[in-house]
Every structure is written in structure tokens, then in C-alpha cells.
């Protein structure tokens, strides 16, 4: 792959039977206000030369309330299935149950550049917000199998460009943005997204998910309940080649997954955390058992109850009185949202695998795409 092709068919386009009713884009942007932007780097080939490439990486930016809504908090909660990874800003989310910055996802060694890039962008676009302290949400998964991960190719300027590019509408999937160099179940992985509509009391809400998928062993892969990983006759160079340092052995299934859950339903922080805790159930439907060497970290947020931030400084952001009143969904109505998380996460992972193609990266390392026809033949059989 020398350029990103985002025209490949998604899971539903292939006829896979998946539960639930998606929104118009079947993407995280079905939640009103959410915007997504990318910057993708695919450059060079051949032997690794740190600082020069080959480069297979990028940046994904998610704006929960869009460009104009930075600084206005969303109720939020996070959960770590396995902590061999990073998501900054989570201690503040744990403290106050909300956040008000963009979300940026890239590769492991780019966390610093992402953090700096978000701070610089907010100070440029929203200088009033930038006057307070900033604790951006920056997350990562490891793309060193294909990418010159120590080469410093992700820069703060690139992060700013991804944020500037954020839009509503259809979302590109597969090998774009932060997902460019990622692998999933020893196939080409990357970004995937999906959404579900939920109707309660005459009101229709949207819940949607986004994953940067870089996890799972080939033998685990399961599609719509069918164990297909062991049966697909596709070479598996990631788990057979000595692609780590020769004195380091990493088991199959290593990698990571970042999952973002968004909804416009009125939820509080505890309910958002409950949604984040359901993400592993969706991942498990695709086969993973949760490798120790995989950083699996999840964030859920609600865009309801839009207001100025009570945790912000400045008279223009302070509430008019000492009491805040917010609508909150009753806990006994949460089951449909739990179900939507599980089903949407499953579909997001499948989209990340299916909207993809073979990629060759550093030192000739190959990541094969999940073959559509071979998969469909197994499912039919």
C-alpha cells in the first residue's frame, strides 16, 4: 500500500448479519456535534533507518462537540481492561467526571507530540480556553511492526492539522490517521466505527463507537460467532517472523486497542463509566481474550447537558448560581445502551479489518488484509 484506499466494503456491505439499527453514517459522527479528522503518513520502503522511515503512521482527532465546542465539558468515564498502554487526561476525568478537550489518537511514541499539538491548537483556535490549564486526552497503540516508530514523524503541527480537518459526515476507516500502521488479529487493522439508534419514551438517542484496533492473535479471530482465524489460509508473518529485537519475545495477541464511546443520551459520569466497562464484551465477540501485552483502554462520553464548564476559570465560564441542574437517564434504562455498546464495538472492529488492504512497511514487514471472499466462503460453509 502506498496510499490509503477507504472505498472498500464495510461489514454490512458484505452482507454480514449484525444486530441493531445504525445511524445514517453508521459512524461516531452520527452523534450530533462529533467531528473526526485525520492526518496520514505513508512514505518510503525498504530497510528501517530511524528518522527517515519507512513511515506508516498518522493522527486521529475526535472533537466531541466539534470545533466550536472546545472548552464545554462532556460527562465522561473511562475503563482499562489492561493497562499496557496510555491515555492521558484520565486522572482528571476520574476526579470530576468530565472533560472538555479534543481526543487525539496516534502511535505509542507520539503521545508527547500529540499532547503538545492539542495545547498549541487550543491556544490558537480557542485562546480563552487556553488560558486555563489543559489536560488533553491523548491515546496510543503501537505501530512499530510497520512504522519507523522512533523517528519522530508525528509532530505537533500534524496534530493541529488533524484537528483543523475534523468534520461531521462519513468517517474513513482502515489504514488512516492513527490507525495507519496498526494490525488486528495478525491482519491489517486500524480504525473502525459504527453506531446504533435507541428509542426510549418517544425519544431517539444515538450511541456510537470508534476503535483504533491493534490487538488479537490470528487463532482468536471470530466473525459473527464463527471461529475463522484458524481456518483462513493466509500467511501470518507477524506471528512467525522474528520482527522484534532478537533478544525479545512477545506472544501472539500483543498490541492494543483504544475505544471511544459517544452518545447524546443524558448520562452522568458513573453511567459513562458503565458504558466503557461494556467495551470488552464487544471485543470478546470478535475473539480476543485480552493479552497481557495489549493496552486496552476505553473512554465513554455524553454530549447531553451542554453548558459552560464549572471546572474552568474565568467569569464567562462560571455558572450563575451555586447549583447545576442536569437531566440524567434512569439507571434502569441503561440496558439498551449496554447492548448498543457491545454490538457497535463488534461492528467497529470488523469494519477496521474489512475496510483495508495489504500493507508493506519497515524492513519489508507485511500485514495482509483480511480476504473478503475467503471469509465469506467460511461463513457460508
The grid coordinates of residue 200 equal: 426510549
Whether residue 312 lies in the annotated active site: no
Given 168, 175, 254, 294, which residue is catalytic? 294
In 3D space, the residue among 58, 348, 154, 363 whose CA is nearest the CA of residue 238 turns out to be 363
Whether residue 195 lies in the annotated active site: no
DSSP bridge partners of 82: 296
- Angstrom distance (rounded) from CA 327 to CA 306: 11
Are the beta carbons of 199 and 157 closer than 8 angstroms?
no
List helix spans (H) across the chain: 90-96, 111-125, 127-130, 156-164, 269-284, 335-354, 372-380
Phi (first) and psi of residue 103, to 5 degrees:
-110, 130
- Angstrom distance (rounded) from CA 103 to CA 28: 13
Q: What is the SS3 assignment for 107?
A: strand
- Report the 10 Å Cβ neighbour count for 68: 12
- Angstrom distance (rounded) from CA 94 to CA 84: 19
- Angstrom distance (rounded) from CA 362 to CA 65: 37
Between vectors from CA 193 to CA 286 and to CA 42, what angle results, nearest 5°? 100
Whether residue 241 lies in the annotated active site: no
Given 296, 302, 317, 348, which residue is catalytic? 296
Chain centroid to CA 184? 13
Given 175, 194, 195, 256, which residue is catalytic? 256
In 3D space, the residue among 137, 105, 106, 107 whose CA is nearest the CA of residue 119 turns out to be 137
**What residues are annotated to the active site?**
256, 294, 296
Amino acid at each position: 500500500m502506498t496510499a490509503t484506499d477507504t472505498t472498500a466494503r464495510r461489514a454490512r456491505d458484505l452482507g454480514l448479519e449484525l444486530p441493531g439499527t445504525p445511524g445514517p453514517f453508521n459512524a461516531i459522527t452520527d452523534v450530533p456535534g462529533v467531528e473526526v479528522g485525520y492526518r496520514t503518513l505513508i512514505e518510503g520502503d525498504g530497510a528501517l533507518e530511524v528518522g527517515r522511515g519507512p513511515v506508516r503512521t498518522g493522527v486521529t482527532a475526535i472533537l466531541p462537540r466539534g470545533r466550536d465546542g472546545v472548552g464545554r465539558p462532556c460527562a465522561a468515564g473511562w475503563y482499562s481492561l489492561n493497562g499496557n498502554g496510555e491515555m492521558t487526561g484520565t486522572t482528571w476525568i476520574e476526579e470530576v467526571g468530565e472533560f472538555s478537550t479534543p481526543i487525539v489518537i496516534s502511535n505509542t511514541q507520539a503521545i508527547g507530540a500529540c499532547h503538545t499539538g492539542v495545547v498549541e491548537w487550543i491556544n490558537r483556535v480557542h485562546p480563552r480556553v487556553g488560558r486555563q490549564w489543559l489536560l488533553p486526552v491523548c491515546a496510543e497503540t503501537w505501530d512499530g511492526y510497520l512504522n519507523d516508530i522512533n523517528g519522530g514523524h508525528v509532530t505537533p503541527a500534524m496534530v493541529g492539522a488533524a484537528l483543523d480537518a475534523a468534520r461531521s459526515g462519513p468517517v474513513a476507516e482502515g489504514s488512516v490517521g492513527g490507525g495507519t500502521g496498526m494490525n488486528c488479529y495478525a491482519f491489517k487493522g486500524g480504525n473502525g466505527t459504527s453506531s446504533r439508534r435507541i428509542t426510549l419514551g418517544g425519544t431517539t438517542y444515538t450511541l456510537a463507537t470508534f476503535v483504533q484496533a491493534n490487538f488479537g492473535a490470528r487463532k482468536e479471530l471470530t466473525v459473527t460467532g464463527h471461529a475463522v482465524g484458524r481456518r483462513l489460509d493466509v500467511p501470518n508473518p507477524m506471528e512467525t517472523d522474528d520482527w522484534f529485537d532478537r533478544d525479545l519475545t512477545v506472544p501472539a495477541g500483543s498490541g492494543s486497542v483504544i475505544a471511544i464511546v459517544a452518545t447524546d443520551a443524558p448520562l452522568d459520569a458513573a453511567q459513562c463509566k458503565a458504558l466503557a466497562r461494556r467495551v470488552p464484551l464487544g471485543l470478546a465477540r470478535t475473539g480476543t481474550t485480552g493479552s497481557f501485552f495489549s493496552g486496552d483502554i476505553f473512554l465513554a462520553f455524553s454530549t447531553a447537558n451542554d453548558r459552560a464548564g464549572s471546572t474552568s476559570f474565568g467569569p464567562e465560564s462560571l455558572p450563575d448560581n451555586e447549583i447545576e441542574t442536569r437531566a440524567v437517564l434512569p439507571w434502569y434504562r441503561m440496558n439498551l445502551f449496554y447492548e448498543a455498546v457491545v454490538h457497535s464495538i463488534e461492528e467497529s472492529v470488523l469494519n477496521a479489518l474489512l475496510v483495508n488492504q495489504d500493507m508493506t512497511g519497515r524492513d519489508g514487514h507485511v500485514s495482509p488484509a483480511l480476504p473478503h471472499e475467503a471469509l465469506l466462503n467460511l461463513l457460508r460453509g
